[in-house]
Structure 1
């Protein structure tokens, strides 16, 4: 059974269709109008694993040339790969009324979304996430970006999709490590603003009742995005764990999955909140304990890519795109389900905290 969640953004509103068989269920949607042509941008690994499903589900739509395969991994989010994709789209003869189908995880979604935003000043993109992490987070909300040597997602635009199709059938081939990494984004929604959801997740001892938890996480994000589309205020809360996490991810040089980095980053955010006297120590321990029990490592010394440098992490955090007025901006917590934006970070204290955590 599939379910539909509405993202209310006025003239840019769209639906998220979630569930087993969502790709087939979405075919009657108006975005698949007969006169429109589609360019498929697909993760190369997904294309290999799910070619039969994708071909069957998209039978009858007008395709603009061969599918454009996107290499796996964060290295694909580069100017060089973006130029290659745009060149292929031009070769396909896409017009402004046509659209891009982005089939893959967060990397494919980010790159395809940015290419669609730039192509002839903007064409539609339909996001078809194939990982739990991209279903729970990156496919919804319109963020697109590529990376720079200084850090992740530093060059990009907001470009809302015209439809998101989260078909849980794609998860059947997702490795366990990737599933755990995606679960971090579901936990994140609870830690930001739903203490009861976190209690429920603790009781389930892992990613059970997946569709229900995923729908709750998407609906939570939908509400925040509708209130603050361009991250001028409350949407920044969705970055819980990301400032720490992006620094870890960059330092690990590809050895750490994004969701793993976010999980460790959320534990750091709660530990730092407790250190500052903002959050009960018991809540920080609950968060770290639950992450560890679900297979998400929070000890920096045990993460892939360790050992890390506190000084290097701090420098990367100084370049984070969420910063304002030259100050490091963190999402911290007053407790589980009560995150807030903290603009008064003392770099010296933060450095000492990182050193303590790395030991």
Structure 2
């Protein structure tokens, strides 16, 4: 890990709150040590009479929600992010007698918040959900914004729904035992935030980085909940990133793949004349600061990557065969939906490999 990265966690009392403004569906994201203890208060605000807690963490890490509840054990990991898992969860909800006015609580990493969120969106055509994200990746990005999804063999996150939580409690105490690779996984999303308007987060504490990243995402989601325009910015680095995850059988973790995708996005923007070499170099400098991978894995197939990028749920392919990427430019990041495949192929060929 780069010596410039500090896992600087806050003490009790250092609490940040970010509001996601969506009218009657607005909610707060709490960031800080001990914020999970607000769970019973949030559940009371929902008005639920019972809860189901889906947890990939030990039971003692989830506080009492203040109403009768059942705990369902879950497992983090892309291999568990499937329609079969969603079906099993919904059956457990039914067995627990969960009604439409009750609440589901997720506790785990980004794959858990994604899967539980989708199950909550589908069960009874939608029940309330509260997220207690326990990984840096989930706290920075996955738990906020209302996108829920699972994977298909054909690609990542191809089946999903928009379903906003009632609250997100990002307790930084959960991060104290996080493995080093999971820190990198989260830093990949923090690094990409540098290029979508969050500012330079490299000198901030972990809690400040989480809060700033969530604040930028909240601004974007509040303005464009369903990807009609501005929300495309959140795809920065993800088009190649998702393709790399699928192509490597998720040997690259999400944040690691997004980091490589971010460096690639900078190189592609430079090749298309959208940014100068200094800005291209800045992409690499930011990614390397966080100790993240930036080279393509050995033996990846460019043809396969291009096919996967065209299939990505956040991408689009024009009738002329051009690919869509979110790329940096004179006015900042924006969707470029006219990128020739030849340019993408040339940039892939020029990327260093491990």
CA deviation map 1:137-190 (0-9, x unaligned): 111100001111111001111000011110000001111111122022122222
Q: In structure 2, the residue corresponding to 1:193 is in which secondary structure?
A: coil
Partner of 2:207: 211
Contact 1:32 1:61 in 2 (8 A): no
1:328 matches 2:323: yes
Alpha-carbon deviation of 1:26? 4.3
**In structure 1, what is the Cα distance between the partners aligned to 2:135 and 2:167?**
17
Cα displacement (A) at 1:30: 5.4
Counterparts of residues 123-138 of structure 1 (less than 5 Å): 123-138=127-142
Distance 2:317 2:347 in 1: 21
User: What SS does the aligned partner of 1:238 have?
Assistant: helix
Structure 1 gaps of 5+ residues are none
Distance 1:138 1:71 in 2: 16
Per-residue Cα deviation, 1:177-221 (whole angstroms, up to 9, x for no partner)? 111220221222221114xx22x51xx3xxx51111211111111
Partner in structure 2 of residue 307 of structure 1: 299
Match of 1:28 in 2: 41
**TM-score normalised by L of structure 1:** 0.89
Distance 1:31 1:273, change over 3 A: farther
| Correspondence for 1:234 among 215, 230, 244 | 230
Kindly state the Cα deviation for residue 325 of structure 1 after the two structures are TM-superposed. 4.0
Q: What root-mean-square deviation, in Å, do the aligned CA atoms of Structure 1 and Structure 2 show?
A: 1.7
CA distance in 1, matches of 2:157, 2:46: 32
Aligned length: 337
1:75 and 2:70 matched = no
Task: Identify which range, 345-354 or 7-16, moves more after superposition.
Answer: 345-354
Task: Say if 2:268 and 2:343, in contact at 8 Å, map to a contact too.
Answer: no
Q: Is residue 267–residue 347 contact of structure 2 (8 Å, CA) maintained in 1? A: no
CA distance in 2, matches of 1:261, 1:173: 23
1:235: Cα distance to partner? 0.5
Matches within 5 A, 1:270-349: 270-300=266-296, 303=297, 306-322=298-314, 323=316, 325-326=318-319, 327-334=322-329, 338-349=332-343
CA contact (8 A) 2:39 2:64 kept: no
> What's 1:356 paired with?
350
Alignment check: 8 A CA contact 1:184 1:260 kept: yes
Summarize deviations over 1:274-326 as a string: whole Å, max 9, x none. Answer: 111111111121221231232101011xx4xx321111100101111231545
Match of 2:60 among 49, 52, 56: 52
CA contact (8 A) 1:34 1:61 kept: no
Structure 2: where are the runs of 5+ without partners?
1-12
